[in-house]
Structure 1
């Protein structure tokens, strides 16, 4: 017996014949391929104890002073003048303090707070240590920088401040200054 396929049905028969390796619509084949993720972490610091930089470290206050016969000391704390930061672990970090707004050049003789009403000044100094022997500066202004290794956790660096003695007492009033903190990493 011989089968004869009419000419019009030959094309349909060829279309219905499965070819080798073609997808049958059944999930009988699968392939897997991995992809790679990467990130490069660079040294960085956030000023303050949160996840975003702070706009101020607060105010270190000497309180009320009635005499300058002896030095008046103050120590910062978090929120009142201490430098608080969180940096990449192991990052070499340098903390530098500027001159303040009322001294140019060397701070070795002291920085100056000013009474804006009278333009009189009050001499003070900032130190890295409780003994008040290491003047904190920027390395070229008469004081030294503080070099540290970051831990990755929030770190607080206290400022040990001193109002210097004066032979003549300036006028009563409010005296202030602003000192720029520079963090290099």
Structure 2
């Protein structure tokens, strides 16, 4: 093996380059848990809760809307579960006192706002079948869509 002496280096040259990335606002929702009232006795109010999660990029402001549901003649103030042609009225609220209707911000309803933290945030939906709700025997169902606007 031949060994050569190391060359003597006296000058340098430099260059630089830019490193870039773009983080876009995004949100992911996970509903998954049904709001189950269980057995309802007409004339007695029935409360229930459920939760869903939102994961939004850090610093992203967002609003969470709940749809009016799929029940015929429903409004944000009076949502309707159906069983065949029969309906059972109920409400969805942002608070445990069940005083603030959760909707899309129209028709007297409110949205829930937050700012993304980059980790999962949990939100509770408070439901109530009012004591005055009349009902025919049956199993009632409705579908609510959660939307994040950011």
Please give the TM-score of this superposition, normalised by the length of structure 2: 0.84
What's the offset of the Cα at 1:71?
0.9
Unpaired runs of at least 5, structure 2:
1-6
What's the offset of the Cα at 1:72?
0.1
**3-state DSSP class of the match of 2:47?**
strand
Richer in helix (by share): 1
Richer in strand (by share): 2
Counterpart pick for 1:129 among 67, 76, 95: 95
Which position in structure 2 is the counterpart of 1:19? none
What aligned pairs does 1:1-185 form with structure 2 within 5 A after superposition?
A: 32-48=14-30, 56-65=31-40, 67-76=41-50, 82-104=51-73, 106-108=75-77, 110-116=78-84, 119-166=85-132, 168=134, 170-185=135-150
Unpaired runs of at least 5, structure 1:
1-25, 49-55, 77-81
Higher RCO (CA 8 Å, separation ≥ 6 residues): 2
| Number of positions where the alignment pairs a residue of Structure 1 with one of Structure 2 | 143
Task: Give the CA RMSD over aligned residues.
Answer: 2.2
Report the structure number with the largest CA radius of gyration: 1
Ranges of 4+ aligned residues in structure 1 off by more than 6 Å? none
